[in-house]
Structure 1
Amino acid sequence: MSTTKWVLDPKHSELGFKIKHLMISNISGSFREFEVEVDTVDEEFSTAQIRATAQIASIHTNNEQRDQHLRNSDFFEADTYPQLSFQSTKIEKLDDDTFTVYGDLTMKGVSKPVKLTVEYSGVTKDPWGGVRAGFTIGGKINRTDWGISFNGILETGGVALGEEVKINSEVQLVKQPQTVAA
């Protein structure tokens, strides 16, 4: 058995999220700068060790004023905590195409366990001779578990922002060439 290393193709991947706004619709966002590295035994993803990081300053919600607010101390405190990170701890293969990935998510200096659903889309050769694997990732977290609790009360008695954040990501990994010891 050999270890296979996979790295993110950032041009064909997205790290996205959604959160309720005014309790009537969702606002979508993403982190434009993020990295993912995966080590597997051979090409078996049920053996994966996954490491991911995202640059908080790269948060994008299609509204620069909101993005600046998300970077400040009301939310992510990007100057103090410039990255969020994920480290897998366990993977359960549910069927040929579906995995549950458990791991630790660290934001604002707080690490908490999370559970993600990962749909495996398969492996293919690209036109340049490389090997790629595709995944759709989903999950839910409560932002207040990481100290991200800013909110506003509405006239109607509701709140401006939901606490639940839905993770919705697409990841394409590129298999790295094997290195042979001399």
Structure 2
Amino acid sequence: MAIKTWQLDTTHTTVGFMVRHMVVAKVHGRFTRFEGKVEVNGDDLAQGSAEVKIDVSSIDTGVEQRDNHLRSPDFFDAAAFPKLIFRSKRVQDAGKGHYRVVGDLTIRDVTREVVLETELLGKVKDPWGNERLAFQASTSIDRKDFGLSWNQALEAGGLLVGERVDITLDVQAVAVAAEKAA
């Protein structure tokens, strides 16, 4: 089988996250600039790979002051570490359209293995003749494992910013046309 490359359709893909705030509330955010590709051997997604690069400065929680703090050295340090990078190492078929994508996530200068629980949502041809692949993936990380340790204790107990971060990817990817032999 031939390897097929799929480019992330950034206008139809969301890279989102959620973290607890003041113990009881949830703050949702997303990254608005990223690029990535998925490579698949034929139709067997378990013989695939993925790579995504996310522009840290594109973080958006809907509050400019908070976003600027997240870009600062207290958190992501976007000036020194401008990209978050995920590179898969292997894909495991979990049955019935579900996969476990195991890979390395790099935040700041720290790389840790994470598992993306992934569901294939489908493969279709769009009205313009392009093949599209859609899937949803999620994982949770401890932000301290990546050097994102800034926090403040609350008077009533607990911490201002939760340590667990839930990450969700809603992805559409478009097949890259195979180059014709000369």
The answer, yes or no, to whether TM exceeds 0.5 is yes
One-letter identity of the residue aligned with 1:12: H
| Residue equivalent to 1:145 | 145
Question: How much does 1:49 deviate?
Answer: 1.1
Identity of aligned residues (%): 37
Distance 1:25 1:128 in 2: 43
| Residue equivalent to 2:9 | 9
Alignment of 1:12-161 (within 5 A): 12-161=12-161
- Structure 1 residue ranges, 4+ long, deviating more than 6 angstroms after superposition: none
Distance 1:92 1:50 in 2: 13
Cα RMSD after superposing both structures: 0.8
Question: How far does the alpha carbon of each residue in 1:141-169 deviate from its partner, in whole angstroms, 9 at most, with x for none?
Answer: 00000100010100112110110000112
One-letter identity of the residue aligned with 2:99: F
Distance 1:5 1:165 in 2: 30
Distance 2:35 2:139 in 1: 18
Distance 1:168 1:41 in 2: 25
Alignment of 1:159-174 (within 5 A): 159-174=159-174
Alignment TM-score, normalising by the size of structure 1: 0.98
Alignment TM-score, normalising by the size of structure 2: 0.98
Question: How far does the alpha carbon of each residue in 1:26-63 deviate from its partner, in whole angstroms, 9 at most, with x for none?
Answer: 10000000111111112321111110010000000000
Question: How much does 1:98 deviate?
Answer: 0.4
Question: How far does the alpha carbon of each residue in 1:72-118 deviate from its partner, in whole angstroms, 9 at most, with x for none?
Answer: 01000000000010000011111131001100000111111001100
Count of aligned pairs between the two proteins: 182
Question: How much does 1:181 deviate?
Answer: 3.0
One-letter identity of the residue aligned with 2:18: K
Question: Is there any run of 5+ residues in structure 2 with no aligned partner, and where?
Answer: none
One-letter identity of the residue aligned with 1:113: E
Question: Is there any run of 5+ residues in structure 1 with no aligned partner, and where?
Answer: none
Distance 1:36 1:46 in 2: 18
Distance 1:8 1:34 in 2: 9
One-letter identity of the residue aligned with 1:72: S
